[in-house]
Structure 1
Amino acid sequence: MTKPIPDTEPTPAHGPPTARTGYRWELLVLLWLAFFLNQADRQIFSVVLPLIRRDLGLSDAELGLIASALVWTYGLLVPVAGFLGDRFSRRNILGFCLLFWSVATLFTGFCATLLQFVLLRGVATGGGEAFYAPSANALLGERYPEKRAFVLSIHQTAVYFGIILSGLIAGYVGEHYGWQRAFYLFGGFGILLAAVFFSRIPKDIRASVADSQTLADVGRTARVIVRKPTVVLLTLGFGCMVFVNVGYLTWMPSFLVDKFGLSLTDAGFSSLFYHHLGAFLGVLSGARIADHYARINPRSRLVVQSAGLLLGAPFIYWMSQADSQPLTYAALFGFGMFRGWYDSNIVASLYEVVPDRMRSSAYGLMLACAFLIGASAPYLLGVLKPTLGLSTGLASLSACYVLGSGLLGLASFVYFQRDREA
């Protein structure tokens, strides 16, 4: 059995650049699978929700509480995950959080009461998933400095596959074998993947140099991050994007049912597939464009993100106002395509202005703020639905994309150079 190569980044003085190629791609593949499960495990509950309601008799309010518990737990813990990712072995953090949320997902299949669902699906699954993204993106950013946006974009495609395939697989398993087995299947696969991850990926050097950080140290790190206007504007722009995304994911299936009379199955598939197909193509093309121009001017990453939001805004409006299914699906595709441009550089843009020692912390804070902002979108659209209508509510999301584009443009042309040199 081939032993994995030690987890240290070589320089030309220590050996040929190709010596680590196998391990670097192995790391990306394993993290892609982990991120796939990170997103899939989050979606299972929504897919089999009607079956849980029927079998256990939970009310809509109780089911909403279970869903909210995951979002709020994630948002509150992800900054903690970011700070820990800058101080301890990222390999250990990733392996243990994958194992933790997978065990929680598996045991969710045994739930029979509201409290059990809140604790296992909401707090445990959400808490475990919160520790993944900051360490994973920081680790990939370190290992692929010259292809950072492209590699992080490949990693980002796991979001789209996780959302779409979990809907198909969990829906089929739940319909034919019971909703419990959907949780058993995904949780069991995650436990197996965690075992492979620990056996193939060696402990990174950060574990041997991590020191005990006081609360004062953490506070100083946070102050350095928030004093960079570029980071603040990137975070607010991310919040605009998450607000739109959460609102779209929550209400688009119902919109298609109400407007075109689709079944729940058809509406669920159509609302996700066309958008995420466009996002998959957009995230790869956006990364290539950004990596090419960033060699000349690093602010190009922010410009690509800003352009993605600005060009995506008309498609959001068109998506909600189109009179036919084909035009709606075309708008969903365009919306996804330019959303992918934005996604391709979320992490890479942040890393341009944040020191390596703070990258995981900065991304954790960014995620927390964005998720706490975005969590209100479903509620606000629900409030507007009886008076203005869902079509108008969805159309108004385009304004958030325009606002986000302006914030990123301001960051790129006013503050970026100064913050990058600081």
Structure 2
Amino acid sequence: MSQSTKKFNWEFIVLLWFAFFFNQADRQVFNIALPAVRDDLGLNDVQLGLIASAFILAIGVFVPIAGYVGDRFSKKTVILLSLLIWSSATFFTGFSGGFLILIILRSIVGGSEAFYAPAANALIGEKFKSNLGHAMAIHQTALYAGIIGSGIIGGYLTEHYGWRMVFYIFGGIGIVLFILMFLRLEDGVARSKEQKVTLLDGIKNLAANRTAVLLTSAFTCMVFVNVGYLTWTSTFLHEKFDLGLTEAGFSSMFYHHAFAFVGVMVAGKLSDRLAGKNAGGRLKIQAWALLLGAPFIFLMGLGTDLPVVYVGLSIFGLFRGMYDSNIYASLFSVVDEKIRASVASAMIMCSYIIGSLAPVVLAYFKVGFGLTNGLASLSLFYVLGSVLIFIALKFTFKKDRNVALEIMKNRDEFEK
């Protein structure tokens, strides 16, 4: 069902919204429970950083396979199996008794979650045409809601019922959601047997597309910042300002992601309008968002008063949301629609493999220079990401955009 001719398919986007909610909540809830897990199991900060890094690394390792599977097989099936596996692994994380089993289970969660985004975003790209930015923005808000929810609910449950209960509840709800989506979620367009998709298609097509390479490099900068922020900000507030786990979990996630919600919705609508007039409009929004967000990351890390830190978190979140609204829409503007899941997965692979270093790098930084300085230094990555997108706009975007449009036009004419 193409949204260029049909009304907005709310049931479809809401089902994916809840799946993405738990994709992010199950990812982030471990970071909220870090101090309790550390104290209960006798782990140190470097071990906790390694567990978080293993999780992100698993996403990076498995996502190329996810992209191939998303382009080759039923996207609905890929999404459902991903949801079931990560929810089950989250549930069993509550039974963990030490460092090794935590690394194994969190790696399973990360590896299975890797299959969700390429298939889901490509499926949204099939279902929505003229209002793709709006649909992507609505879906993206689940990321913020999931992280805020994990901060509030996860922090409360950890303080009152222990960290293990958090994983039982979050994992169990995900399994129930799997059943609902099995019954109600629409699938995408069936792939013809003649269409050949190989495991390396995403990597090869990404490497051959200069704009996609630059967008991936900028995305890597954002992911490195995001992974470091998500892993350590709750602990930062807990230790620097002596906040309880519930308040630290809430504050570290709420202000940032509430403003990101606003940013993604505003930029999603705005980008659809700009893209109708100028194809590079989506990239311009992303580049300016990263550049303007950088000073507030610095403020977040070095702020000495909580209100100042919260202002930094909030405005950092606003601009982060504006960037997020067009992560995939910008990439898809220069990529053939038949290989979008594969190319998106290649982008995620590169970004998450490098981003997986952030938790352990900040853990060592925490020991040697202090977590305050470590978080503030993340602002440099936002500046670099902005520069890379501006380079794409100036030198490569127009040509790569025209190439992608020509490929799709020729294929459509051939199929007719």
Aligned to 1:166: 150
- Going from structure 1 to structure 2, the CA distance change for 1:250 and 1:178 (only over 3 Å counts) comes to closer
Aligned to 2:407: none
1:360 is matched with which residue: 341, 358, 364? Answer: 341
Q: CA deviation at 1:372?
A: 1.5
Render the CA deviation track for 1:288-340: whole Å, top value 9, x for unaligned. Answer: 22111100111100000001001111212222333422222112111111111
2:299 is matched with which residue: 297, 318, 326? Answer: 318
Superposition pairs of residues 241-320 of structure 1, within 5 angstroms: 241-320=222-301
CA distance in 2, matches of 1:172, 1:56: 20
Q: SS in structure 1 opposite 2:87? A: helix
Does the 8 A contact of 1:68 with 1:122 survive in 2?
no
Aligned to 1:70: 55
Aligned to 1:399: 380
Q: CA deviation at 1:58?
A: 4.5
Q: SS in structure 2 opposite 1:110? A: coil
CA distance in 2, matches of 1:48, 1:219: 37
- Percentage identity across paired residues of the two chains: 48
Aligned to 1:185: 169
1:28 matched to 2:13? yes
Q: SS in structure 2 opposite 1:295? A: helix
- Going from structure 1 to structure 2, the CA distance change for 1:394 and 1:63 (only over 3 Å counts) comes to closer
Q: SS in structure 2 opposite 1:314? A: helix
CA distance in 2, matches of 1:257, 1:221: 41
Aligned to 2:396: 415
Does the 8 A contact of 1:88 with 1:210 survive in 2?
no
Render the CA deviation track for 1:197-227: whole Å, top value 9, x for unaligned. Answer: 11112443326x356857xx44355322211
Superposition pairs of residues 10-409 of structure 1, within 5 angstroms: 17-18=5-6, 21=8, 24-119=9-104, 121-206=105-190, 209-210=192-193, 217-386=198-367, 388-409=369-390
CA distance in 1, matches of 2:234, 2:340: 36
Q: CA deviation at 1:253?
A: 3.1
- Going from structure 1 to structure 2, the CA distance change for 1:112 and 1:352 (only over 3 Å counts) comes to same
Q: CA deviation at 1:144?
A: 1.1
Does the 8 A contact of 1:86 with 1:361 survive in 2?
yes
CA distance in 1, matches of 2:371, 2:45: 19
> What amino acid sits opposite 2:389 in the alignment?
L
CA distance in 2, matches of 1:260, 1:177: 24
CA distance in 1, matches of 2:158, 2:309: 29
CA distance in 1, matches of 2:37, 2:122: 37
CA distance in 1, matches of 2:281, 2:385: 16
Give the length in aligned residue pairs: 403
Q: SS in structure 1 opposite 2:232? A: helix
> What amino acid sits opposite 1:271 in the alignment?
S
Larger mean CA deviation between 302-311 and 174-183 belongs to 174-183
Does the 8 A contact of 2:89 with 2:108 survive in 1?
yes
Does the 8 A contact of 1:87 with 1:206 survive in 2?
no
Q: Report the TM-score, using the length of structure 2 for normalisation.
A: 0.90
Does the 8 A contact of 1:244 with 1:400 survive in 2?
yes
CA distance in 2, matches of 1:286, 1:106: 36
Render the CA deviation track for 1:83-121: whole Å, top value 9, x for unaligned. Answer: 1111111011111111111122222223334443333x2
Q: SS in structure 2 opposite 1:169? A: helix
CA distance in 2, matches of 1:156, 1:35: 8
> What amino acid sits opposite 1:405 in the alignment?
S
Render the CA deviation track for 1:154-193: whole Å, top value 9, x for unaligned. Answer: 1111111111111222232333333333222111211111
Q: SS in structure 2 opposite 1:86? A: helix
CA distance in 2, matches of 1:73, 1:9: 34
CA distance in 2, matches of 1:230, 1:309: 17
CA distance in 2, matches of 1:412, 1:94: 33
> What amino acid sits opposite 1:365 in the alignment?
A
CA distance in 2, matches of 1:90, 1:297: 31
Larger mean CA deviation between 369-378 and 171-180 belongs to 171-180
CA distance in 2, matches of 1:50, 1:318: 24
Does the 8 A contact of 1:353 with 1:416 survive in 2?
yes
CA distance in 1, matches of 2:186, 2:231: 39
Q: CA deviation at 1:406?
A: 0.7
Larger mean CA deviation between 79-88 and 52-61 belongs to 52-61
CA distance in 1, matches of 2:92, 2:364: 35
> What amino acid sits opposite 2:16 in the alignment?
L
> What amino acid sits opposite 1:122 in the alignment?
R
- Going from structure 1 to structure 2, the CA distance change for 1:83 and 1:390 (only over 3 Å counts) comes to same
- Going from structure 1 to structure 2, the CA distance change for 1:203 and 1:384 (only over 3 Å counts) comes to closer
Q: SS in structure 2 opposite 1:205? A: coil
CA distance in 2, matches of 1:317, 1:59: 27
CA distance in 1, matches of 2:370, 2:202: 45
Residue segments in structure 1 that go unaligned for 5+ positions in a row:
1-7, 12-16
